[in-house]
């Protein structure tokens, strides 16, 4: 698969895999000055990049970096960012500071990871009823914890 990446800002960095076994590529902050996030503050951190996915059967997903989440409390404000195949704007990372301390993000700092995945595009069929299963409508802990 080929992922085309365009630099929208001259100081943006083209992402790379950190290791040969990494599932994603690291996205870096692209900012003229450090970004300061207060506790519980949300922000869109620019990357200075735009991408072009190969087709409509592909999606790019933006995930938090686990080390930053654990050590600093930096999480994705939207859980997982979804970049559709027809989007050509700047990739921004929507973050939230879940810690009780201020977090500073510097230019070039790895802030998220981008993973490309296939998309199953279903044929939508409206029905009057769904098939029965043993579980049925049980959810939210209905199967227990042990």
| Alpha helix ranges (H) inside the chain | 66-72
What CA–CA distance (Å, rounded) separates 68 from 137?
A: 37
- Per residue in 18-59, pLDDT tens? 899 999 999 999 999 999 999 999 999 999 999 999 999 999
In this prediction the pTM is 0.88
């Amino acid at each position: 698969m080929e992922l085309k990446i365009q630099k929208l800002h001259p100081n943006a960095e083209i992402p790379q895999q950190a290791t040969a076994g990494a599932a994603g590529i690291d996205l870096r902050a692209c900012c003229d000055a450090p970004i300061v996030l207060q506790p519980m503050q949300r922000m869109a951190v620019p990357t200075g990049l735009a991408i072009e996915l190969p087709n409509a059967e592909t999606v790019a997903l933006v995930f938090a970096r686990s080390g930053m989440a654990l050590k600093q409390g930096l999480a994705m404000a939207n859980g997982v960012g979804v970049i559709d195949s027809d989007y050509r704007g700047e990739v921004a990372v929507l973050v939230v500071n879940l810690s009780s301390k201020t977090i500073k993000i510097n230019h070039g700092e790895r802030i998220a990871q981008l993973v490309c995945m296939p998309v199953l595009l279903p044929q939508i069929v409206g029905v009057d009823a769904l098939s029965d299963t043993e579980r049925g409508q049980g959810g939210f802990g209905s199967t227990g914890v042990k």
